[in-house]
């Protein structure tokens, strides 16, 4: 749902005209920011938050032509792959000067550098690489070039001498190098994965690859279609390609990919598998990824979105936008991203050919510090920082989650639960609640048991006493008088139906017990309990807020299902020699609802004291209640219509089918009427237009 | 009331309001004001006795000439000897071919000893502008005093295309163009320029006549395109008229010729080099983007988008689609609230400021960066007469028919150019953006649109708004979330006043039943949950006695269906549907635009109730900074809407103070407080500087309040900006945490709880007050950049405020300013 919403947002961006930017809702004017920052709310929808980054420098005077990559060196200079000009620049953003321009002409040993698209700078020296070495991936030259810090060519890596490269193309677009000098190369159009080369250029294998994820429909098609039909469908069975690769100072490899239903961000193990397979990914068409010293991940999306994630893959926030209007901070074609030591993000717009930096605000910096402190188990300090974040943004679910996690570690479960609840984090709220319940039980279980025992003893004593002295006779008489009231008796008869269905339905049919009013009241009670179950469960199990529910649909659905079933059952049974009338069927269905009512009530009550570990309990209670009710409905049909088992089964199946058919017909009729109405309106408007010219 | 000034130095060690996370060295960006441009050392001189220049008029300051062949008005400013032209004045016949031929002839003559080398150089080394290569339109575009766009439909019933016709078109080219300049009533200061075109349209059978009257004034000149004089069968298709696009243009790419002398037996020869970028002179264009932006003349190495702004904001009705989508991904572009632009050449040497005195509501300011087709930086104005849109005939909006407006926008376009010279030591109007602002301010004061205000307090004001209530979805209908009740407003304001801040004005947002989004703008309906009418009246009255102005806020421009019926209330787009604004917000995701007549009507109706409650002022939003053309019935044009609003505010201003949110220039006359003042620009890539142009214009005539400090505007640098731009702080507060509004349309108020901002309010107010209270009641006269990131603002009484944005100490001679700090010097 989140991805759909983001995709819808992104796709709309492409069709919005420039002029629409000037007229918008009276939104609050952000300071010097040109885009909004979004984080998650408690429903995991995007919600605007305090600006995380503000536009910094916009550098348009470097003469860049379709730049495609940027990295930051240890001394804060930027290494830029200026693809269109076949050069690599080393640029100092503080002085505004180009420190070094690297070009390469062809020699006998290597081709010229024609179209550098990827750069990587070694930040630490080792036995195999020197600090400041610049690796450049050039797909046009089909080489990865290694330059030293002065721009002198040291090595050049061409197509590996391996069997599979006899047919495979080697067009390196991005490169990253570890301390052993092993190259990780993203080759253009290669769906086999990230190419791993040794420090001498020998092919080591494919480090990681993407999987093809088909939709359910496509899987079904694969199963039943012939090859010819499949060819006509043009299902893309090629895995999505990698778009970038990055290695942090600890040697962990990160990669980004572009495509739907794929792990667009990967933090690789040494075997190449993804440590963060379950993480939520905010954007689909990633073009680059980078990681800072604290492990915070930054990704760049083709549509101009910059997303930030923690080192555990938790989504922090996103900002940026696409618009072809030449505004700082809004991209026409976001191509690459890098982060410097001060936390400033550097980006490249490939089509407008400029560099844009973003400076973190206090808000963002505080969040990052708080995350780091949590990782370092400095929980008290982290709590203080999260409080600062909350001061700046009281809607920050990230902060509420962060502060709650810290409270959980500090064993302050009440505060943890409070903040998890605000953050909508049911899983961790359940943990905190479990602890609170545990504490409560430990404190109160013994006294509770004691009280229960005493109450039991007291009840026994009262009973014995009553048997001798009958002092409770008036109470019993009162109870009996209340119980004998017709309406109440009719409603309570449902309890008997549940325990002795066969006889009870017979008496219902014969009008010896029960009534239409009673049945109606039971159905109202059923609806009420169902609504309570749907909308009133405890926080852990209540996934949808009351305000987000469509009450009219729920009512309509309930009435439609019950009403249609009763009606269709009557119609079916009346042509199948059934003995029951419409009213009797109605009563039968209504009086079957007792187990369902009970199940809803009990489940709802249990949901307030259960945790996620006890979810099965709720499900079992509800399932048993529902199953029991359905069984009672089955029995009611059998008894009321006087059918055999086989006849009952047949009747029920036909009834269900009948209900489905009626629903389809109603939907069709509704569509047709709407089309007719639309058609008439169009004729009138067309006529008016022609008459008036 | 002006303060009694004494000489003092206030070195304020700036307390960090909140620790700023950025530790990087300060680097200047487009959000700052850069140092002065390079000085023009070589003022070009031209001999106007030859070349077809006729003198039209001469006064104490200017000599006006006309180049008949190219229709260029030439203005020589006697004060500095600088010559301005309404076009580049390029001889279209001086092409590369011609010059090559001239060079060849000169070379031959030189080699034949018929002429000397110096003469050879003079005849050959004449650069040729590359525009002459864009045949035939290049030099003609650059020379034209006027041009117009018109809509042309193809032979089939297809989409309208736009074609452009320039007044300097040579005859016998694409169109048959004739242009004449005639004197009016023998008055040498009044001339009529008539620009006639035939052979327009698909069938080349349409005509157009545009008449522009030139008034040569003591400050410059004025060009008046009178609507009644526009004529021709092509008139219904007229889209835009542009004025002097290349006036003040800088740049250009040339072909350079270099002559070489004989060398022994070697003959003399010449070489040509093409695509040589002309040196950019120092200077910039000023555009009215947000607070004000400068676009310096640069040789951009990459093509960048032009700056375009519609004065008073885009019109949602004069647009292609009947809907707009507020994606909420990027910050809305700043509006051009004043119809002004300007160009400065050199370093406080020569400049002009241009502003519309009529037709501003249909004006657009365009600034083209270099690296576009002509390789010039140029800035100009155009006026919009018609628009394209999709006319809809189906219920679903399918298959719309591309159309143009049935009627032209009716207005006279009057654009005035005033010239500035020197550093301002003579007339107080330096030839830079400060001089432009002061000149425009002078015009507004003369016409009564601005009036100097009497400083009512010795300390600056602070704006404290409250977000009271908004609505969210409920199981049935909506439920109102109240974050601040009347009682809480009272408590918070009392607390703030008790803390020593007394000059407080306050706006209550969401005071009405159902809150800010669903509250009915046409009536004043109160609810006990937020506050009864009596409670509000008591609140207003009690604080009025203490000199605190509490008012009720209302947006009369944007409406929704849940709030009020759209029938006869929502403005219609010419497509036939209501104009809509679609958003991703909840619970209301579709908004409409109120008809201007209704906006004015609701304003008056609610004002009546508020006045009866004893309010001292009204807080108005929406209709103050946005205009919409209404196509309901007879319709209301932008011009009529402005008249309606001026009428309404004019009536109210007699009885009450007006707090207007970002008012456009036509409401300056009535504004007592300017709320949510921009201190940044839209940040186009081509914009090199941000300047407080608007603030300089308005300072001293009304109270100016910045954007809310709650939202990323509270750091040290932001406070320095308030001081630099002379704007006072504002906050929006709630009693309860703002996450109460997370499911409402106010979910973007993400940090508002008073308890969290108590100290910040006091701290920011203290700092800004320390800086700006000394200059209350005095006029802002100058602003200059002492060094990168160090600004000096000078006021009429001699007070100077120095602001240091950098992370380094600055030595100003008699003292130092600490990093990220300010100093107040001087005074009477």
Q: What is the C-alpha separation between B123 and B126, in angstroms, rounded? A: 7
pLDDT tier, B6 (very low <50, low <70, confident <90, very high otherwise): very low
Question: A522 near A593, Cβ under 8 Å?
Answer: yes
pLDDT tier, A277 (very low <50, low <70, confident <90, very high otherwise): confident
Q: What integer pLDDT is reported at residue A621 of this predicted model?
A: 92
Q: What integer pLDDT is reported at residue A226 of this predicted model?
A: 82
**Least confidently predicted of A112-121, A541-550, B90-99, B250-259:** A541-550
pLDDT average, residue stretch B334-362: 96
pLDDT average, residue stretch B787-794: 95
Name every chain B residue with its beta carbon within 8 A of the beta carbon of A21: 330, 332-333
Q: What is the C-alpha separation between A472 and B520, in angstroms, rounded? A: 63
Q: What integer pLDDT is reported at residue B516 of this predicted model?
A: 95
B21 pLDDT above the threshold of 80? no
| pLDDT winner (highest mean) among A35-49, B16-30, B307-321, B355-369 | B355-369
Q: What is the C-alpha separation between B339 and B288, in angstroms, rounded? A: 7
| Contact yes or no for A36 and B331 at CB 8 A | yes
Q: For tokens 């031209």, what's the residue?
A: B46
Per the model's pLDDT, the better-predicted residue between A300 and B26 turns out to be A300
Question: Shortest CB distance from B718 goes to which of A31, A55, A363?
Answer: A31
Q: For tokens 């100097």, what's the residue?
A: B452
Question: B143 near B237, Cβ under 8 Å?
Answer: no
Name every chain A residue with its beta carbon within 8 A of the beta carbon of B712: 30-33, 50-51, 54, 361, 363
pLDDT tier, B3 (very low <50, low <70, confident <90, very high otherwise): very low
Q: Which residue of B has its CA nearest to A21?
A: B332
pLDDT tier, A39 (very low <50, low <70, confident <90, very high otherwise): confident
Q: Which residue of A has its CA nearest to B316?
A: A23
How far are the Cα atoms of A282, B102, B185 from residue B109, in angstroms, in the given order?
Answer: 74, 11, 52
Question: Shortest CB distance from B707 goes to which of A31, A322, A548?
Answer: A31
| Contact yes or no for B27 and A535 at CB 8 A | no
B434 pLDDT above the threshold of 70? yes
Per the model's pLDDT, the better-predicted residue between B315 and B14 turns out to be B315
Q: What is the per-residue pLDDT across B68-80, written as a single tens digit (0 to 9) for each? A: 888 899 999 999 9
> Which of A5, A7, A18, A32 to mutate to test binding with chain B, by most B CBs within 10 Å of its CB?
A32
Q: What is the C-alpha separation between B249 and B368, in angstroms, rounded? A: 10
pLDDT average, residue stretch A140-160: 94
Element (H, E) at B301: none
pLDDT average, residue stretch B356-378: 91
Min Cα distance A346 → chain B (Å) is 14
Question: Shortest CB distance from B325 goes to which of A16, A60, A363?
Answer: A16
| Contact yes or no for B747 and A395 at CB 8 A | yes
Name every chain B residue with its beta carbon within 8 A of the beta carbon of A9: 327, 329, 584
Question: A637 near A643, Cβ under 8 Å?
Answer: yes
Q: What integer pLDDT is reported at residue B321 of this predicted model?
A: 87
Q: What integer pLDDT is reported at residue A22 of this predicted model?
A: 38
> Which of A60, A91, A534 to mutate to test binding with chain B, by most B CBs within 10 Å of its CB?
A60
pLDDT average, residue stretch B446-451: 96
Question: B754 near B802, Cβ under 8 Å?
Answer: no
For A254, residues 6+ apart whose C-beta sits below 8 A from its C-beta are A245, A246, A247, A248, A265, A266, A267, A268, A289, A291, A297
**Least confidently predicted of A59-68, B365-374, B631-640:** B365-374
Q: What integer pLDDT is reported at residue B423 of this predicted model?
A: 92
Give the bridge partners for B478, in sequence order: B473
Q: What is the C-alpha separation between B531 and B485, in angstroms, rounded? A: 6
pLDDT average, residue stretch B168-183: 76
Helix (H), strand (E) counts: chain A: 17, 25
For A355, residues 6+ apart whose C-beta sits below 8 A from its C-beta are A57, A58, A59, A62, A64, A67, A70, A78, A80, A91, A93, A346, A347, A348
| Contact yes or no for A50 and B712 at CB 8 A | yes
B440 pLDDT above the threshold of 50? yes
**Left (φ > 0), alpha (ψ -120 to 50) or beta: where does B10 sit?**
beta
What does DSSP assign to residue B735?
S
Question: Shortest CB distance from B331 goes to which of A30, A344, A547?
Answer: A30
Q: What integer pLDDT is reported at residue B96 of this predicted model?
A: 84
Measured at the CA of A253, the angle between CA A247 and CA A259, to 5 degrees, comes to 110
For A178, residues 6+ apart whose C-beta sits below 8 A from its C-beta are A184, A247, A251, A253
Give the bridge partners for A378, in sequence order: none
Per the model's pLDDT, the better-predicted residue between A679 and A186 turns out to be A186
For B266, residues 6+ apart whose C-beta sits below 8 A from its C-beta are none
B464 pLDDT above the threshold of 60? yes
A1 pLDDT above the threshold of 50? no
What is the number of CB-based contacts under 8 A between chain A and chain B? Answer: 241
Provide the b/e sequence for A185-215 (b: ≥16 CB within 10 Å).
bbbbebeebbbbbebebebeeebbebeeeee
A287 pLDDT above the threshold of 90? yes
Q: What integer pLDDT is reported at residue B378 of this predicted model?
A: 94
| pLDDT winner (highest mean) among A50-54, A127-131, B157-161, B220-224 | B220-224
- A649-656's contacts with Cβ under 8 Å and 24+ in sequence apart are A650/A576, A651/A569, A651/A572, A651/A573, A651/A576, A651/A578, A652/A569, A654/A572, A654/A576, A655/A565, A655/A568, A655/A569, A655/A572, A656/A565
Min Cα distance B690 → chain A (Å) is 11
Min Cα distance A118 → chain B (Å) is 21
| Contact yes or no for B676 and A29 at CB 8 A | yes
Taking alpha carbons only, the member of A124, A129, A138 closest to residue A200 is A129
| pLDDT winner (highest mean) among A481-490, B449-458, B805-814 | B805-814
A2 pLDDT above the threshold of 50? no
Question: A63 near A72, Cβ under 8 Å?
Answer: no
| Contact yes or no for A395 and B750 at CB 8 A | yes
| Contact yes or no for A343 and B21 at CB 8 A | yes
Structure tokens at B390: 């999709």
Q: What is the C-alpha separation between B610 and B597, in angstroms, rounded? A: 20
Give the bridge partners for B240, in sequence order: B149, B384
**Least confidently predicted of A537-551, A627-641, B352-366, B456-470:** A537-551
Question: Shortest CB distance from A25 goes to which of B321, B326, B739?
Answer: B326
Q: Which residue of A has its CA nearest to B475?
A: A547
Question: Shortest CB distance from A34 goes to which of B24, B304, B330?
Answer: B330
CA torsion B27-B33-B36-B38 (nearest 10°) is 70
| Contact yes or no for A30 and B319 at CB 8 A | no
Mean pLDDT rounded to a whole number for chain A: 86
Q: What integer pLDDT is reported at residue B19 of this predicted model?
A: 34
pLDDT average, residue stretch A88-98: 93
What does DSSP assign to residue B776?
T
Q: What is the per-residue pLDDT across A244-275, written as a single tens digit (0 to 9) for each? A: 999 998 899 999 988 765 688 899 888 888 88
Q: What is the per-residue pLDDT across B351-360, written as a single tens digit (0 to 9) for each? A: 999 999 999 9
CA torsion B444-B448-B450-B454 (nearest 10°) is 140
**Left (φ > 0), alpha (ψ -120 to 50) or beta: where does A124 sit?**
beta
- Per residue, the 3-state secondary structure of A506-524, as one string, reads HHHHCCCCCCHHHHHHHHH
What percent of chain A is modeled with pLDDT above 90? 43
| pLDDT winner (highest mean) among A14-28, A58-72, A252-266, B338-352 | B338-352
| Contact yes or no for A19 and B749 at CB 8 A | no
Q: What integer pLDDT is reported at residue A10 of this predicted model?
A: 46
Name every chain B residue with its beta carbon within 8 A of the beta carbon of A364: 21
Q: For the whole model, what pTM was predicted?
A: 0.86
B607 pLDDT above the threshold of 80? yes
Taking alpha carbons only, the member of A123, A119, A121, A80 closest to residue A99 is A80
Mean pLDDT rounded to a whole number for chain B: 90
What percent of chain B is modeled with pLDDT above 90? 71
Question: B330 near B21, Cβ under 8 Å?
Answer: no
Q: What integer pLDDT is reported at residue B566 of this predicted model?
A: 92
What ipTM did this prediction achieve? Answer: 0.87
Residue by residue, DSSP assigns B131-186 as GGGSTTTHHHHHH-SEEEEEEEE-SSS-PEEEEEEETTPPTTSSSEEEEEEEEETT
| pLDDT winner (highest mean) among A327-331, B136-140, B164-168 | A327-331
Min Cα distance A524 → chain B (Å) is 18
B1 pLDDT above the threshold of 60? no
Question: A38 near A52, Cβ under 8 Å?
Answer: no
Q: Tell me the three state secondary structure of residue B379.
A: strand
Q: What integer pLDDT is reported at residue B152 of this predicted model?
A: 87
| Contact yes or no for B332 and A24 at CB 8 A | yes
Q: What is the C-alpha separation between A28 and B269, in angstroms, rounded? A: 66
**Least confidently predicted of A575-579, B477-481, B685-689, B793-797:** A575-579
Beta strands in A66-171 (DSSP E): 69-72, 78-82, 87-92, 97-102, 118-121, 134-138, 143-147, 153-157
What does DSSP assign to residue B452?
P
| Contact yes or no for A31 and B712 at CB 8 A | yes
pLDDT tier, B135 (very low <50, low <70, confident <90, very high otherwise): low
Q: What is the per-residue pLDDT across A202-237, written as a single tens digit (0 to 9) for each? A: 999 888 888 777 777 777 777 788 888 777 776 666
Q: Which residue of A has its CA nearest to B26?
A: A94
pLDDT average, residue stretch B312-323: 90
Q: What integer pLDDT is reported at residue A5 of this predicted model?
A: 46
pLDDT average, residue stretch B737-760: 89
Name every chain A residue with its beta carbon within 8 A of the beta carbon of B472: 547
Min Cα distance A298 → chain B (Å) is 18
What are the start-end ranges of the H helices in B276-339?
none
Q: What integer pLDDT is reported at residue A456 of this predicted model?
A: 93
| Contact yes or no for B707 and A13 at CB 8 A | no
Q: Tell me the three state secondary structure of residue B773.
A: helix
CA torsion A539-A540-A543-A545 (nearest 10°) is 10
| Contact yes or no for B330 and A47 at CB 8 A | no
Q: Which residue of A has its CA nearest to B313?
A: A22
Min Cα distance B511 → chain A (Å) is 17
Q: Tell me the three state secondary structure of residue B821.
A: strand
Min Cα distance A594 → chain B (Å) is 26
Q: What integer pLDDT is reported at residue A689 of this predicted model?
A: 65
Q: What is the per-residue pLDDT across B528-586, written as a single tens digit (0 to 9) for each? A: 999 999 999 999 999 999 999 999 999 999 999 999 999 999 999 998 889 999 988 88
Question: Shortest CB distance from A321 goes to which of B329, B678, B738?
Answer: B329
**Least confidently predicted of A677-691, B24-38, B210-224:** A677-691
Name every chain B residue with its beta carbon within 8 A of the beta carbon of A554: none
A17 pLDDT above the threshold of 80? no
- Per residue, the 3-state secondary structure of A157-186, as one string, reads ECCCCCHHHHCCCCCEEEEEECCCCCEEEE
Question: B254 near B276, Cβ under 8 Å?
Answer: yes
| Contact yes or no for A49 and B750 at CB 8 A | yes
| Contact yes or no for A64 and B302 at CB 8 A | yes
**Left (φ > 0), alpha (ψ -120 to 50) or beta: where does A244 sit?**
beta
Q: What is the per-residue pLDDT across A423-478, written as a single tens digit (0 to 9) for each? A: 888 889 999 999 999 989 899 989 989 999 999 999 999 989 888 888 888 888 88
Q: Which residue of B has its CA nearest to A318?
A: B329
Q: What integer pLDDT is reported at residue A21 of this predicted model?
A: 40
Q: Which residue of B has its CA nearest to A552?
A: B476
Question: Shortest CB distance from A326 goes to which of B684, B743, B748?
Answer: B684
């Amino acid at each position: 749902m989140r991805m759909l919403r983001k995709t819808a947002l992104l796709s709309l961006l492409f069709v919005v005209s420039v002029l629409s930017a000037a007229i918008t809702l009276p939104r609050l004017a952000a300071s010097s920011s040109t885009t909004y920052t979004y984080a998650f709310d408690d429903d995991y929808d995007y919600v605007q938050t305090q600006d995380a980054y503000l536009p910094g420098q916009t550098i348009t005077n470097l003469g860049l032509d379709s730049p495609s990559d940027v990295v930051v060196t240890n001394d804060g200079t930027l290494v830029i792959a200026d693809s269109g000009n076949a050069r690599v620049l080393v640029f100092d953003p503080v002085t505004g000067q180009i420190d070094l321009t690297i070009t390469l002409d062809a020699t006998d040993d290597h081709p010229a550098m024609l179209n550098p698209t990827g750069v990587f700078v070694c930040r630490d020296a080792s036995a195999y690489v020197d600090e400041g070495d610049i690796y450049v991936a050039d797909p046009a030259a089909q080489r990865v070039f290694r330059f030293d810090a002065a721009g002198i060519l040291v090595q050049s890596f061409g197509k590996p001498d391996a069997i599979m490269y006899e047919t495979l193309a080697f067009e390196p677009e991005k490169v990253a190098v570890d301390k052993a000098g092993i190259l990780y190369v993203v080759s253009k159009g290669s769906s086999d994965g990230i190419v791993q080369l040794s420090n001498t250029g020998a092919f080591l294998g494919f480090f990681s690859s993407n999987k093809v994820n088909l939709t359910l429909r496509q899987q079904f098609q694969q199963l039943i279609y012939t090859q010819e039909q499949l060819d006509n469908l043009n299902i893309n069975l090629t895995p999505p390609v990698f778009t970038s690769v990055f290695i942090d100072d600890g040697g962990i490899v990160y990669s980004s990919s572009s495509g739907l239903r794929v792990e667009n961000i990967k933090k690789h193990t040494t075997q190449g598998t993804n440590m963060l397979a379950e993480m939520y990914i905010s954007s689909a068409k990633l073009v680059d990824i980078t990681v800072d010293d604290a492990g915070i991940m930054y990704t760049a999306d083709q549509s101009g979105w910059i997303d930030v994630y923690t080192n555990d893959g938790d989504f922090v926030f996103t900002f940026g936008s696409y618009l072809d209007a030449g505004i700082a901070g809004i991209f026409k074609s976001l191509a690459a991203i890098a982060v410097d030591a001060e936390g400033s993000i550097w980006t490249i717009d490939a089509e407008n050919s400029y560099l844009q930096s973003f400076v973190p605000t206090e808000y963002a910096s505080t969040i990052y510090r708080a995350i780091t402190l949590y990782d370092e188990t400095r929980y008290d300090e982290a709590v203080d920082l999260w409080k600062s974040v909350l001061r700046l943004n009281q809607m920050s679910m990230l902060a509420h989650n962060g502060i709650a996690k810290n409270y959980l570690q500090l064993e302050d479960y009440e505060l943890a639960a409070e903040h998890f609840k605000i953050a909508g984090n049911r899983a961790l709220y359940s943990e905190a609640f479990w602890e609170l319940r545990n504490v409560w039980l430990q404190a109160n279980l013994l006294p509770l048991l004691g009280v229960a025992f005493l109450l039991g003893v007291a009840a026994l004593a009262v009973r014995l006493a009553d048997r001798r002295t009958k002092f409770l006779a008036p109470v019993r008489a009162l109870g009996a008088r209340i119980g004998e009231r017709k309406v109440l008796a009719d409603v309570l008869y449902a309890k008997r139906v549940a325990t002795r269905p066969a006889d009870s339905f017979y008496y219902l049919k014969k009008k010896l017990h029960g009534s239409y009013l009673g049945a109606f009241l039971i159905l109202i009670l059923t609806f009420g309990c169902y609504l309570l179950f749907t909308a009133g469960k405890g926080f852990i199990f209540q996934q949808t807020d009351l305000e987000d529910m469509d009450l009219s649909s729920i009512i309509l659905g309930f009435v439609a299902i019950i009403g249609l079933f009763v009606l269709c059952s009557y119609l079916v049974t009346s042509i199948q020699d059934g003995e029951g009338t419409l009213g009797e069927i109605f009563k039968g269905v209504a009086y079957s609802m007792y187990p369902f009512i009970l199940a809803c009530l009990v489940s709802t009550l249990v949901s307030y004291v259960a945790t996620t570990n006890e979810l099965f309990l709720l499900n079992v209670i509800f399932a048993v209640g529902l199953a029991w009710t359905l069984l009672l409905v089955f029995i009611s049909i059998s008894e009321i219509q006087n059918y055999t088992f086989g006849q009952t089964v047949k009747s029920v199946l036909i009834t269900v089918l009948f209900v489905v058919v009626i629903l389809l017909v109603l939907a069709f009729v509704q569509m047709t009427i709407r089309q007719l109405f639309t058609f008439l309106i169009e004729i009138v408007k067309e006529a008016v237009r022609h008459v008036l010219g | 009331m002006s303060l009694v000034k004494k000489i003092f130095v206030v070195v304020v060690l700036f307390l960090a309001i909140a620790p700023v996370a950025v530790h990087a060295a300060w680097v200047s960006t487009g959000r700052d004001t850069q140092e002065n441009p390079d000085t023009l050392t070589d003022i070009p001189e031209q001999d106007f006795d030859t070349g077809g220049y006729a003198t039209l008029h001469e006064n104490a300051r200017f000599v006006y000439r006309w180049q008949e062949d190219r229709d260029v008005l030439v203005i020589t400013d006697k004060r500095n000897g600088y010559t301005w032209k309404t076009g580049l004045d390029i001889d279209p016949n001086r092409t590369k071919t011609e010059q090559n031929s001239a060079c060849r002839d000169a070379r031959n003559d030189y080699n034949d000893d018929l002429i000397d080398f110096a003469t050879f150089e003079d005849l050959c080394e004449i650069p040729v502008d590359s525009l002459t290569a864009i045949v035939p339109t290049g030099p003609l575009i650059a020379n034209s005093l006027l041009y117009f766009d018109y809509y042309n439909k193809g032979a089939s019933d297809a989409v309208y295309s736009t074609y452009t016709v320039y007044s300097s078109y040579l005859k016998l080219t694409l169109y048959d163009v004739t242009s004449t300049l005639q004197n009016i009533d023998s008055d040498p200061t009044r001339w009529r320029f008539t620009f006639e075109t035939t052979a327009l349209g698909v069938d080349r059978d349409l005509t157009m006549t545009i008449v522009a009257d030139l008034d040569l004034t003591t400050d410059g000149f004025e060009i008046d395109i009178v609507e009644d004089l526009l004529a021709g069968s092509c008139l219904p298709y007229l889209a835009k008229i542009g004025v002097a696009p290349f006036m003040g243009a800088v740049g250009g790419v040339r072909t350079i010729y270099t002559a070489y002398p004989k060398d022994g037996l070697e003959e003399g020869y010449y070489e040509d080099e093409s695509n040589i970028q002309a040196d950019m002179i120092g200077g910039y264009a000023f555009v009215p983007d947000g607070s004000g932006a400068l676009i310096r003349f640069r040789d951009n190495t990459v093509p960048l988008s032009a700056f375009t702004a519609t004065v008073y904001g885009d019109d949602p009705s004069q647009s292609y689609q009947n809907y707009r989508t507020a994606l909420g991904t990027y910050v809305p572009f700043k509006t051009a609230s004043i119809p002004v632009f300007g160009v400065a050449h050199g370093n406080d040497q020569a400049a002009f400021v241009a502003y519309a005195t009529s037709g501003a509501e249909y004006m657009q300011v365009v600034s083209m960066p270099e690296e576009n087709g002509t390789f010039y930086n140029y800035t100009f104005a155009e006026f919009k007469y018609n628009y394209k849109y999709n006319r809809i005939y189906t219920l679903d909006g399918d298959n719309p028919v591309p159309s143009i407006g049935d009627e032209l926008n009716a207005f006279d376009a009057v654009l005035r150019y005033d010239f500035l010279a020197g550093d301002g030591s003579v007339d107080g109007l330096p030839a830079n953006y400060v001089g432009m602002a002061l000149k425009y301010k002078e015009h507004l004061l003369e016409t009564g649109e601005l009036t100097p205000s009497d400083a009512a307090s010795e300390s600056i004001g602070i704006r404290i708004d409250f977000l009271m209530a908004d609505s969210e979805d409920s199981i049935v209908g909506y439920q109102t979330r109240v974050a601040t009740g009347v009682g809480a407003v009272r408590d918070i304001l009392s607390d703030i006043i008790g803390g020593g801040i007394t000059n407080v004005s306050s706006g209550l947002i969401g005071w009405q039943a159902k809150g800010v989004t669903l509250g009915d703008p046409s009536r004043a309906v109160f609810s006990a949950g937020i506050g009864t009418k009596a409670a509000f009246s008591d609140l207003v009255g009690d604080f009025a006695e203490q000199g605190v102005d509490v008012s009720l806020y209302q947006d009369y421009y944007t409406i929704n269906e849940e709030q009020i019926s759209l029938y006869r209330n929502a403005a219609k787009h010419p497509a036939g549907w209501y104009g809509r604004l679609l958003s991703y917000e909840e619970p209301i995701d579709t908004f409409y635009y109120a008809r201007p007549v209704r906006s004015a009507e609701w304003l008056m109706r609610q004002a009546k109730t508020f006045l009866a409650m004893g309010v001292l002022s009204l807080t108005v939003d929406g209709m103050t900074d946005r205009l919409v053309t209404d196509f309901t019935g007879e319709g209301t044009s932008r011009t009529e809407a402005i008249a309606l609003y001026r009428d309404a505010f004019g009536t109210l201003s007699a009885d009450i103070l007006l707090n207007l949110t970002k008012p456009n220039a036509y409401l300056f006359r009535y504004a007592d407080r300017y709320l949510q003042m921009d201190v940044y620009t839209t940040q186009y890539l081509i914009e090199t500087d941000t300047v407080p142009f608007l603030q300089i214009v308005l300072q001293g005539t009304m109270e100016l309040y910045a954007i809310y400090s709650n939202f990323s505007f509270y750091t040290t640098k932001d406070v320095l900006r308030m001081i630099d731009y002379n704007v006072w702080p504002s906050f929006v507060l709630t009693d309860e945490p703002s996450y109460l509004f997370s499911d409402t349309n106010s979910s973007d108020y993400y940090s508002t709880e008073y308890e969290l901002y108590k100290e910040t309010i006091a701290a920011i107010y203290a700092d800004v007050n320390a800086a700006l209270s000394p200059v209350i009641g005095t006029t802002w006269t100058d602003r200059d950049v002492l060094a990168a990131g160090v600004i000096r603002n000078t006021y009429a009484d001699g007070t100077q405020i120095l602001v240091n944005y950098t992370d380094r100490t600055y030595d100003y001679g008699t003292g130092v300013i600490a990093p990220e700090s300010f100093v107040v010097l001087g005074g009477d």
